[in-house]
Every structure is written in structure tokens, then in C-alpha cells.
Structure 1
């Protein structure tokens, strides 16, 4: 079963990643726009609602979704990991409260409202969208890190490291992070799916992405009214986004399965 998950996950995630990374290299120049939704005239998948070639839009539309989601997930963990570790490993209760209470406030606000509020203060574009999605993901990710790290911080091994005057970085980034790797791997798949959802939602709302941008999420949103006339302009980008999400979770799930004869690590 684990091997099947690896294979299926690898297939599902490889296709959208390759299209996102290398698709623009093969997109070529934009040809004349056609008002026909059907195949022909050099448009083997037909054209979208604005007359643009669907296949070319698929080749161009991955970077703004896939790479932004991956970058946002990495940025979220870069902030959430030290924040959650600091709250879990500190011996000062007031510092833990100071770090966690603002996160609780942000978690109480629906993510879409946060998207709209933060977007108003950021410049449109991939960098601003990456920061926006990471900002929304940080509170939940930091809470996951803190909840898992609290149990590790109470272990005798951590107290022994402190007695031997091990530095905070050594305890947090060495021992604790190593013990957290399974939790972080399990959470990473969910966090990536959440980032894809927010990036796509932001595109639907026109936040950070131009309404006519070559973007998979924009393609799905803008071509929905003509689904019966031109299904490929909706089905293909939607399938690529879904494939990336499903493939990532399958790979992380397979990686977390204990190997035969080794059991579950403690």
C-alpha cells in the first residue's frame, strides 16, 4: 500500500510541478485570438472565453499557483517553527502568553477576511501574494508546532540538555525539531493544500492576480460560465490543482508509514 501511495503521489504531483516549472519555456508566442471555442486553427484544446489558446494558458498558468503555494508554505514554516518552539520551550509563562495570544486572535478571524485585509496593504503580484498566504498560515502552523513541542519540552532529555548548558538553539533546532519531524511532515501536506486553496481563492477574488492573468485558478473562475462550450479551460487547470494537492498528501502519508520491522519512532 505504501509503495502504491508513493507511485500515485509522485505521478499526481510531478505533472503540475513540471508544467509550472517548464511550461512557460514551451508556451511560445501568443497567436491571434479566435472567437471559436472548438479545436482547430492551431488550438488543439480550443480557446477560452477571451479567445486565447487554452493549452498555452495551461503552460503559463502554473507558476503563479504552484510556486506561490510552495513558497508561501515554506515561508509560513520559517516563521511558525521558531515561534512555536519559543513558546513551548520557554520557562517564562508570560512569554508563552505573549507569543500565543496574538495567534489566537488571528485564528478567530476567517481566513478569507484576513486575505482581504492584508491584501489591501500589499502590492499586487506573486511576492505580495506569497507573503499574504504565509501570513494567514502562520498562526495555525505555529499552534501545531507548539502543541507538539510542549510534550517534547517536558521530557527528561530536554532537562538533561539544559543541565549540561546546551544552548537554546541546540535544544530547539537540534533535539526538539528532530523529534518533531513526523508531526511537521504530516502537517506539511495539509498546509500545502491550504496554501493552494488560499492562492486559488485570492485569484478568484482578484487579489494579487490580474483578472485576465495566465493563472490556473483564474482560468477555472473565468471560464466557468462557458463550461458546456469549452470544458477543457476549466477541467484541466482544476485537475492540475487537485492533482498537486492529492499527490502531496499521498507522498507525505507514505513517508510517514513505519517501515517493516522498525516500528514507530519514539
Structure 2
């Protein structure tokens, strides 16, 4: 198989993997039936419930159709907020020549990076900070140190520094160099990091929702369903596998499309 055909096949597979959970998240709530307890818990698939019921006696099919919007929205908002804060901050630090400011910021971020994510979520839940907005901000802040370090490292690469020095000697304005040029230069590492960070954010959201931070433990969210039904995996596997496969498909599709987009970008740049 030629590289071009392989690239096209990878894009098709990635689009399918990403498209299925996204379509379910967007259209599923319109097709889902009621998600209240309607039968005995952990019933196997049958004519009335094609995928059986979960530990609370709710229809697994209705839960899967209605549980994607919340997890997709929360994940997207958390990632967007982390990069909206982290990327400009890293570019500003990389553009300044003050080692003191650079070192101070990195030490503060190292402190945040050393905090266990689950411990932070437990403290927030115990303190009564259980709103969805608190959850989004907390997860974004927990991702901020890693985002800043990755973007800063990419912006300080030798190739970027040489180009920055050349543009400075040509009299280019500061904002165009450090926000415009460096922003485009770090786009590839940012996209790769966002694709891999997606699974970590999903894990934190699942843990937070199970702790009662953000969404209630009885919500139909995919991540909550996995946590809620994991003890009954061998009794009613569909209650765990269906939402878990949708989450896996979301992560794999995103990573695959990001990788292929970067490959195409590199091919265009080398021509």
C-alpha cells in the first residue's frame, strides 16, 4: 500500500472512530428514551432492553445515547481553557529574557504539577465546591503546568530561536515574533499533546463525577457509567463496555486524526 493510500485510510478510520461518539453525543439525546429506573438492576439484554440494565435498573441503551453530551462538553471546555491559559503564558515566558521570571513561573508550576489530581478533587468535593464550573477550572489548572512546559520547550527549540533572532534583527514587532511566529511553530506539539491529554482529562472527569464533583453519581454521563458499573463487569458487561468503547473511540479517533493532520502538514512544509 502506498503512503498516500495509507494516509487516506487512516483518515477514514480516524473520522469514523471520532464521528461515532460525537454523533451519539449530539443526536443521541433526541433518540434516547427515559433514563429513570424502569426494571431490575443488571438485567441481561432482551427484547425490552436491547443492552440490558445497569446497577440502578436503567436502560443501558438510553444511557449510552444520552450520556455523551456532558462528557464531550466538559472535556472540550477543560482542554480549551488549559490551552487558552497555558499557550500564551508559555510564549510570553519564552519570549522574555528574564531568567528570574522564567524560573519563578516554573517553580510555581512545579508545585501545581506535584499535586495529585485525585487529591485535589477530593479536597474540592470535601469543601463543598461541587459545581461544574469548579470542575472545569480545577482540571484545566491541573493540566496547566504540563501544557506550559511543552509549549515553552517547543518555543525554545534551536530552530525557533534562530528564526526569532533573525526576525528581531529585521525589526519585526515583538508581538508578531513571539505570539505570531512562535504560536504557529508550537502548533504541532500542542495538537499532539492535546490528543494524548484527552484520555487523562476523561479519567479525571470520571473520577470527579464519581466523587460527586460536577455531575451527580446517578447521571447518565459515559464516564460516570463506567465508574458506576465497573463492579458488575462480569454480571452485565454491556453496562460497562458500551460507554467505555465510546470513550475509547473518542480518544483513538482524535489522536489518529491529529497524527495524520500533522503528517500532511509536515509533507506540505518539506515540499
Structure 2: 5+ residue stretches without partners = 1-5
RMSD of aligned alpha carbons? 2.4
The match for 2:194 among 161, 169, 188 is 188
Matched, 1:101 2:101: no
Contact 2:160/2:185 (<8 A) preserved: no
The match for 2:31 among 26, 31, 48 is 26
Give distance in 2, aligned partners of 1:255 and 1:70: 19
- The Cα of 1:79 is off from its aligned counterpart by 0.4
Matched, 1:228 2:228: no
Higher mean displacement: 11-20 or 161-170: 161-170
Contact 2:21/2:246 (<8 A) preserved: yes
Contact 2:132/2:213 (<8 A) preserved: no
Higher mean displacement: 185-194 or 81-90: 185-194
Give distance in 2, aligned partners of 1:200 and 1:59: 17
| Correspondence 1:70-109 to 2 at 5 A | 70-109=76-115
Give distance in 1, aligned partners of 2:45 and 2:67: 20
Structure 1: 5+ residue stretches without partners = none
TM-score between both structures, scaled by the size of structure 1: 0.89
Q: 1:154 to 1:236 in 2, by over 3 A?
A: closer
Q: 1:66 to 1:260 in 2, by over 3 A?
A: closer
- The Cα of 1:173 is off from its aligned counterpart by 2.2
**What SS is found at the alignment partner of 2:45?**
coil
The match for 1:16 among 15, 21, 42 is 21
TM-score between both structures, scaled by the size of structure 2: 0.87
Q: 1:30 to 1:97 in 2, by over 3 A?
A: closer
Q: 1:126 to 1:164 in 2, by over 3 A?
A: same
Give distance in 1, aligned partners of 2:37 and 2:189: 51
Matched, 1:6 2:36: no
Contact 1:46/1:230 (<8 A) preserved: yes
Contact 2:29/2:65 (<8 A) preserved: yes
Give distance in 2, aligned partners of 1:164 and 1:73: 36
The match for 2:263 among 251, 257, 265 is 257
Aligned residue in 1 for 2:3: none
Give distance in 2, aligned partners of 1:115 and 1:31: 28
- The Cα of 1:73 is off from its aligned counterpart by 0.8
Number of equivalent positions: 265
CA-to-partner distance for each residue in 1:125-174, whole Å, 9 max, x for gaps? 43222212111111101110011111268634322433455433212221
Q: 1:38 to 1:8 in 2, by over 3 A?
A: same
Q: 1:87 to 1:119 in 2, by over 3 A?
A: farther
